[in-house]
Amino acid sequence: MSDESGDRNDRHARQVLFPAVGPAGQARIRAARVAVVGCGALGTVASEILVRAGVGTLTIVDRDIVELSNLQRQSLFTERDAAERREKAVAAAEALRAVDSSVDIRPLVKDLVPENALRVLGGHDLLLDATDNFAARLLINDAAFSLGVPWIYGAAVGDEGAIGVFRPGVTPCLRCFLEALPPPGSTPTCDTAGVLGPVTHLVAALEASEALRLVATGRSMSGIARVSLWGDDGPSVRTSLSSAAAWPECPTCMRRIFPSLAGEGAEFARSLCGRDSVQLVPERPRHVDLDAVAARLANAGSVTRAEESLTAVFADTAITLFSDGRAIVKGTLDPERGRSLFARYIGA
C-alpha cells in the first residue's frame, strides 16, 4: 500500500467505520465524479462536505464573483476573495485543494445554458443543484435525464429549504413534481425574505448526505423533503410524496423531448437573487480580451482584474465582465437598465 493510500485511509477512517459505508463504499466514493452547479451558499457547503468525504472528482460550475454579502453563509470564501472580486469557482477550488490536494477539483467559470449543458455536465456520475432559480434547475433536470445520471435538487430561502433526488429510470423527474413545488415568481426570494445561514447549511448537508448515500450504496430518498428552522414549534422536517409515478405526459422523463435543452426558459438578461444586479449573456459564446478592455477602461473607472474576469467600478454602477462574454451589472434589477449601463461603459 502506498503512502498516499495510507494517508487516505487514515483521513477517512471514521467514515469507513460507519457500517453503511465501509471500505467498499469508500472506494465507490473515491471513484465518483460529481458536478456541483452553483457555488453560493449551498454549493460551497456541499462541495466542502464531498471533498472531506473523499469524492474523487469534483467539478464546480459557477458564473459569479465573490462579494462581501456572501460571507454570511458561503463558507469557503474570505474577505480577501471579496475584496479581490475573485471568481467563486476559482476561489472555492483553491480553498478545497487546501483541504484535500488529492481530489481532482475542476473549477468552471461558466453560466450553464442550453448550448453547453450536456458538454459541461457529461462525464459525471452525479449532479448537485446549488442554483437559485427554476430555469436553471429544469435545465439540470433535462440534462441529467438526457445523460442518464441522477441529480439532487436543493433550495433555501428565509428559514425554509427543500431537497429532492431524481434518478432516470427509477424516479419521476422534477417536471413531474411541479404541482408540488411553488411556481416561479410565486414565493419569496432572498431579495424579499432574506435567507438564514443555518438553513442553507442544513439543505447543503442533506444534499451531500444523499449524494454520499447514493454513491456508496445505490440508495436514496424518494419524494421531496422540506425543512423549516424557525417555526413556532422549532425545527421541522416534512416529506412530500405527491407524485408516486411519472406524469404520463412529462416531456422529459416520459417523452424525452427535453424542453430546457431546446431553450425553453432561457434568459439572456435576468436579475440575480439578492444581488441588486442583472446578468447579461451574449446570444453566442465569445472570447473577450480582458486585458484590452481593462486598458481601455483604466481612465474611466477603477478596474480590478481577476483570473477570468474584470470588474470596473463607475460612478453609478459596477460591471463585472467575464472572458466568455457574460457580464454582471450591479445597481439595478431592471434588465433594460442593465443593458443600457453595459452599452454606456463597455459597448456592444
Q: Considering the domain boundaries, does residue 262 fall inside one? A: no
On whether both 293 and 203 belong to a single domain, the answer is: no
Q: Considering the domain boundaries, does residue 255 fall inside one? A: no
Residue type, 198: P
pLDDT at 2: 42
**Exactly one of 39, 173, 176, 190 is catalytic; which is it?**
190
On whether both 295 and 151 belong to a single domain, the answer is: no
Cell of 339: 443593458
Do residues 150 and 203 make contact, with C-beta atoms less than 8 angstroms apart? no
pLDDT tens by residue, 111-158 = 898 999 999 999 999 999 999 878 889 999 999 999 999 999 999 988
pLDDT over 60 (residue 182): no
On whether both 229 and 276 belong to a single domain, the answer is: no
* Angstrom distance (rounded) from CA 130 to CA 133: 9
Domain that holds residue 89: 32-240
Range of lowest pLDDT (73-87, 190-204, 257-271, 309-323): 257-271
On whether both 137 and 279 belong to a single domain, the answer is: no
Q: Considering the domain boundaries, does residue 252 fall inside one? A: no
On whether both 76 and 145 belong to a single domain, the answer is: yes
pLDDT higher for 203 or 1? Answer: 203
pLDDT at 16: 97
pLDDT tens by residue, 291-304 = 988 888 888 788 99
Q: Give the total number of structural domains in the chain.
A: 2
* Angstrom distance (rounded) from CA 311 to CA 327: 9
pLDDT averaged over every residue in the chain:
87
Do residues 195 and 274 make contact, with C-beta atoms less than 8 angstroms apart? yes
Q: Considering the domain boundaries, does residue 136 fall inside one? A: yes
pLDDT tens by residue, 216-272 = 999 999 888 888 888 777 777 765 544 457 888 899 999 999 999 988 766 566 666
On whether both 214 and 333 belong to a single domain, the answer is: no
pLDDT higher for 239 or 204? Answer: 204
On whether both 98 and 192 belong to a single domain, the answer is: yes
On whether both 154 and 221 belong to a single domain, the answer is: yes
pLDDT at 192: 47
Q: Considering the domain boundaries, does residue 283 fall inside one? A: yes
Instruction: Enter the pTM of the model.
Output: 0.82
Percent of the chain past pLDDT 70, that is, above it, reads 86
On whether both 58 and 176 belong to a single domain, the answer is: yes
Q: Residue 39: give its domain's CATH number.
A: 3.40.50.720
pLDDT over 70 (residue 10): yes
Q: Considering the domain boundaries, does residue 17 fall inside one? A: no
Name beta bridge partners: 34.
Answer: 58, 126
pLDDT at 347: 74
On whether both 300 and 175 belong to a single domain, the answer is: no
pLDDT over 50 (residue 319): yes
Q: Considering the domain boundaries, does residue 296 fall inside one? A: yes
Range of lowest pLDDT (64-73, 207-216, 265-274, 298-307): 265-274
On whether both 287 and 221 belong to a single domain, the answer is: no
Q: Residue 287: give its domain's CATH number.
A: 3.30.310
On whether both 113 and 211 belong to a single domain, the answer is: yes
**Does residue 190 have an active-site annotation?**
yes
Query: β-pairing, 224-228 with 236-240?
Result: antiparallel
Cell of 10: 487514515
